[in-house]
Amino acid sequence: NAGVTQTPKFQVLKTGQSMTLQCAQDMNHEYMSWYRQDPGMGLRLIHYSVGAGITDQGEVPNGYNVSRSTTEDFPLRLLSAAPSQTSVYFCASRAGTGIANEKLFFGSGTQLSVL
């Protein structure tokens, strides 16, 4: 099983450029999420989705958009990149709700630099 696949692994953008980080999972998970990881701050939730067609904001949603048209895919869009968005981004999924489904499966991350 591929699990959670993120592309690209590395990306450099100029301020004001837009781009989409891709995330796909092949485990038929209902729940998908995006986190950013910054030194000394741990992981912070950007957006999440509890199923196709349903998305919601996390802790740090400003500057990012998401959509969930299929169960498998959950892309993260940066509309106008800013240096403050330089970070490592992780996509994560889990089977659903409830204690039995709390385990998150993470992708390998995308390292983004905004100049």
Partner 1 sequence: GDSVTQMEGPVTLSEEAFLTINCTYTATGYPSLFWYVQYPGEGLQLLLKATKADDKGSNKGFEATYRKETTSFHLEKGSVQVSDSAVYFCALSDDYKLSFGAGTTVTVRA
Distances in Å between the alpha carbon of 72 and those of 47, 67, 81? Answer: 16, 12, 26
Name the residue nearer to partner 1 (CB basis): 57 or 70: 57
61, 40 in Cβ contact below 8 A?
Answer: no
Select from 79, 76, 78, 84 the least CA-distant residue to 114.
Answer: 84
Give the binding-site size for partner 1 (rule: CB under 8 A): 25
Say whether residue 90 binds partner 1 (CB under 8 A). Answer: yes
Say whether residue 74 binds partner 1 (CB under 8 A). Answer: no
Stretch that binds partner 1, among 11-19, 34-42, 62-70, 76-84 (CB under 8 A): 34-42
Say whether residue 63 binds partner 1 (CB under 8 A). Answer: no
